[in-house]
């Protein structure tokens, strides 16, 4: 019989199991000469799940809305650049025109 780290820690693991999210994956042996059997145990960290995994999942879900921008066509990338430059020059111009219009209305 072989002893592994899991067999030495089994008692402590059973005590800490309610606090930790322990996932067990076990393939049961059904015959005298089994072909393949495996057993794995993985402890999830609830703090990591709450502080890191959940926000990253939310961020990925949000960024999936912009997935259409990355389509691999050079023409679209050039168009995106031209639109960006247009916005950089157009938005301040529109704001300036709105300020001039408000100043014109304030004179009356």
For residues 16 and 63, state if they share a domain: yes
Look at residue 37 in the predicted model and tell me its pLDDT: 73
For residues 28 and 44, state if they share a domain: yes
Which residues contact residue 36 at a Cβ distance below 8 angstroms, ignoring those fewer than 6 apart? 27
Please give the tally of structural domains in the chain: 2
Owning domain of residue 106: 71-108
- Token pair, residue 4, equals 């592994």
For residues 50 and 99, state if they share a domain: no
For residues 88 and 61, state if they share a domain: no
For residues 14 and 62, state if they share a domain: yes
- Token pair, residue 90, equals 């157009």
pLDDT tens across 13-62, in order? 778 777 777 777 777 777 777 677 777 777 777 788 888 899 999 999 99
Length of the chain: 108
Rounded distance between C-alpha atoms, residue 67 and residue 61, angstroms: 10
Look at residue 50 in the predicted model and tell me its pLDDT: 85
Comparing 49-53, 85-89, 97-101, the range with the smallest average pLDDT is: 49-53
Confidence of residue 2 (pLDDT cuts 50, 70, 90): low
């Amino acid at each position: 019989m072989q002893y592994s780290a899991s067999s030495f820690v089994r008692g402590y693991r059973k005590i800490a199991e309610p606090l930790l999210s322990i996932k067990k994956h076990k393939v049961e042996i059904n015959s005298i000469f089994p072909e393949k059997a495996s057993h794995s145990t993985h402890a999830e960290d609830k703090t990591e799940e709450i502080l890191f995994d959940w926000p990253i999942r939310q961020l990925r879900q949000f960024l999936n809305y912009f997935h259409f921008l990355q389509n691999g066509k050079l023409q679209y990338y050039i168009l995106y650049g031209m639109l960006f430059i247009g916005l950089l020059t157009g938005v301040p111009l529109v704001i300036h025109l709105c300020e001039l219009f408000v100043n014109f209305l304030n004179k009356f």
